């Protein structure tokens, strides 16, 4: 199995669908410990990204992800715009020039995406951010021997990472202003990141 352009387009379609479907859930999570805009921003950004993807021929998986990146950077704002923008930019960069992406290339691109997100947002694991879902998912991909298994393991790891943010005290982003009052809430960024890996497993795994 390999990651193709059409599979990536299907993935982005599904991810946009998840953002629309879970818009209120993300707003609710973000209202509890942030500023309440995560669901609306991601929904708006991914709807725009789908428009852009549909408006022009995407040469390969990397090009499609770059289109998503640039759309999110210029339409989302907040923290999610630069962070998801950087994620897709690095991920797309890692896949550029490949029509069919194998597991090692895909996992290496995700490592670059993770590094990009961390360098933009300065978050470490345990800070109660999207990084807490990203790190275990990327590690699951890197540890897999087969693309389908890796995609499913990554989705599961992202879900566990997301759930593990609940007891954490936030140390980055607006939630950090709450100190210990940020405990017992699931992080909205880690939640949208889980949906990204969930939709990837559905779209890309055979």
**Residues forming the site for other proteins (CB under 8 A):** 27-28, 31, 34-37, 40-41, 44, 73-83, 120-121, 169, 171-174, 176-179, 181
Return the number of the residue (37 or 139) whose C-beta is nearest other proteins.
37
Residue 164 is classified by DSSP as T
Q: How far is the CB of 33 from other proteins (least distance, A)?
A: 9
* CA–CA gap between residue 49 and residue 67 (Å, rounded): 7
Q: Please report which helix (H) or strand (E) contains residue 134, including its range.
A: helix 131-143
What lies within 8 Å, CB to CB, of 106 at 6+ separation is: 3, 94, 95, 141, 147, 150
Q: How far is the CB of 86 from other proteins (least distance, A)?
A: 9
Helical packing angle, 188-204 and 147-163, nearest 10°? 160
Return the number of the residue (114 or 141) whose C-beta is nearest other proteins.
114
Return the number of the residue (16 or 205) whose C-beta is nearest other proteins.
16
Q: How far is the CB of 39 from other proteins (least distance, A)?
A: 8
Return the number of the residue (182 or 186) whose C-beta is nearest other proteins.
182
Residues in the chain: 206
Q: How far is the CB of 203 from other proteins (least distance, A)?
A: 27
Q: In this structure, what are the phi and psi dihedrals at residue 190, rounded to the nearest 5 degrees?
A: -65, -30
Q: How far is the CB of 164 from other proteins (least distance, A)?
A: 18
* CA–CA gap between residue 5 and residue 98 (Å, rounded): 9
Return the number of the residue (55 or 206) whose C-beta is nearest other proteins.
55
């Amino acid at each position: 199995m390999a990651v193709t352009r059409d599979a990536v387009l299907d993935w982005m379609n599904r991810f946009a669908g998840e953002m629309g479907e879970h818009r209120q859930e993300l707003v609710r999570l973000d209202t509890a410990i942030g500023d309440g805009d995560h669901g609306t921003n991601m929904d708006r950004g991914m709807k725009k990204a789908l428009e852009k993807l549909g408006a022009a021929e995407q040469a390969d998986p990397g090009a499609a992800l770059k289109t998503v990146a640039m759309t999110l950077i210029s339409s989302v704002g907040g923290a999610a715009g630069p962070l998801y923008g950087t994620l897709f930019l690095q991920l797309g960069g890692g896949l550029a020039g490949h029509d069919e992406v194998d597991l090692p290339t895909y996992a290496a691109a995700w490592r670059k995406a993770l590094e990009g997100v961390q360098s933009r947002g300065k978050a470490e694991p345990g800070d109660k951010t999207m990084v807490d879902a990203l790190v275990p998912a990327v590690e699951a991909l890197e540890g897999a021997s087969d693309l389908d298994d890796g995609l499913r393991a990554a989705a599961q790891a992202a879900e566990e990472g997301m759930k593990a943010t609940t007891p954490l005290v936030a140390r980055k982003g607006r939630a950090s202003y709450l100190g210990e009052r940020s405990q017992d809430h699931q992080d909205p960024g880690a939640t949208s990141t889980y949906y990204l890996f969930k939709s990837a497993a559905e779209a890309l795994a055979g």
